[in-house]
Amino acid sequence: MTDCVECGAEVSLHDNLEVGEIIDCTTCGAELEVIDVEPPELDKAPELEEDWGE
Amino acid sequence: MKVGLLYSRIRKDEKLLLEELRERDHDVVKIDVRKQRFSIREPPEAFEGVDVVLDRCLATSRSRYATQFCEAYDIPIVNSAETAEICADKVKNSLALEKAGIPTPNTEVAFTKDAAMQIIESFGYPCVLKPVIGSWGRLMAKIDSKSAAEAILEHKATLGHYEHKVFYVQEFVEKPGRDIRVLAVDGDPVGAMVRSSDHWLTNAAKGAETDSFELDEEATSLVEQASDAVGGGLLGVDLMETGVDENGDPEGYTVHEVNHTVEFKALNDATDVDVTGEVVDWLEAQVEAEVTV
Ligand SMILES: [Zn+2]
């Protein structure tokens, strides 16, 4: 369990967390990026300002 | 082998790849593209000793440049810079398909609203207006009438980025409510699925329903040709049926585009094929071939 950096609510995390993965906060809907896994640390995911490949 | 996975976001697709690679005891280095500095002289430290770099950058420009740097450093990269260059741009994509004699929807490009309007009027309604760089069906417009055309062109001209001032107009294909996505490695289909939707956009990202699809000979051959036309690699080829006969079999196909940073999780779910496994098999073979050369 760790806290959402946007709203402070607890975010439940699954087991095989991967750095770079994006997690949605179920409380506020913010997109959070996993920046560390041990211990899990989340940050607000940056917006992608240009279009994606596919 | 040592695989560098170049990414900015780890999606389900990248997780599947990472799991598969690690399960096979390959050495995987995750390389966050946002943290890299690409020198024209020497590769970034993160690239040290990698046998292959897998470009999983979402942003088109990152993908286009990173692949060029890798090639300059003599580091094998999937997909190649040539493939990224062609696939990232719908104009280049269409030109490559047409040049190779592959059936593709008629397309015209114009740089001003007036010229675009002339194309639309000559194609008739409906027709389709697409951004030259884009994905997941975003910012694509099916134009049903002259008044809609005028409004959309006006919006694009006023609000758009300069790339939206390249007007890419395509004939509308009366597909039977679905399109076909094929994942291919150097032209060999790994798996195929149909995406069906009541909506004219049948992208999986738009919530279309997916189902596995058996490719016939013609479709298989078109996939191979389309892959060759853009320089090969790990690709997603989008086809549509141009019609179906009374048995429900396709009458023919048209290839819309080829995607180079291909997502495959939907395909993995829709088919019995172990898509991730096949992709990694192919990667291993690529590296093997590189070593023996
Ligand atoms: Zn939150």
ipTM (interface predicted TM)? 0.76
Q: Is A35 left (phi over 0), alpha (psi -120 to 50) or beta?
A: alpha
Domain interval for residue A40: 2-44
CATH architecture of B178-273: 2-Layer Sandwich (3.30)
- Confidence band, pLDDT 50/70/90 cuts, at residue B135: low
> Could you say which of A18, A19, A53 has the minimum Cβ distance to residue B57?
A53
Task: Please determine, for residue B139, whether its predicted confidence score (pLDDT) is greater than 80.
Answer: no
CATH of the domain at A28: 2.20.28.160
B97 close to B229: Cβ distance less than 8 angstroms: yes
Structure tokens at B102: 């592959």
Q: What's the CA gap between B268 and B236, in Å, rounded?
A: 13
Inside any domain, residue A54: no
Mean pLDDT in residue range B74-83 = 96
> Rounded to the nearest whole angstrom, what is the distance from the C-alpha of residue A53 to the centroid of ligand 1?
28
- Report yes or no: A15 at the B interface, CB cutoff 8 Å: no
CATH fold label, B106-171: Dna Ligase; domain 1 (3.30.1490)
- Confidence band, pLDDT 50/70/90 cuts, at residue B204: low
Task: Provide the residue ranges of all domains of chain B, joining segments of one domain with +.
Answer: 2-84+284-292, 106-171, 178-273
Total count of domains within chain A: 1
Inside any domain, residue A6: yes
B279 close to B26: Cβ distance less than 8 angstroms: no
CB contact under 8 A, A16 and B60: no
Per-chain mean pLDDT for chain B: 90
Residue A52, pLDDT score: 42
- Confidence band, pLDDT 50/70/90 cuts, at residue A54: very low
Residue B137, pLDDT score: 58
- Report yes or no: A39 at the B interface, CB cutoff 8 Å: no
Residue B128, pLDDT score: 92
Q: Do B106-171 and B178-273 show the same overall fold?
A: no
Residue B262, pLDDT score: 86
**CATH number attached to the domain at B2-84+284-292:** 3.40.50.20
Inside any domain, residue A39: yes
Inside any domain, residue A9: yes
Question: Across the strands, what pairs with B141?
Answer: B129
Inside any domain, residue A50: no
Q: What is the pTM of this model?
A: 0.88
Inside any domain, residue A53: no
Q: Which of residues 190 through 249 in chain B touch A, CB cutoff 8 A?
A: 236
Which residue, among B51, B27, B36, has the nearest Cα to B6 in the 3D structure? B36
Q: What's the CA gap between B193 and B188, in Å, rounded?
A: 15
Inside any domain, residue A25: yes
CB contact under 8 A, B9 and A53: no
Inside any domain, residue A51: no
Which residue, among B138, B270, B269, B108, has the nearest Cα to B201 in the 3D structure? B138
Residue A30, pLDDT score: 87
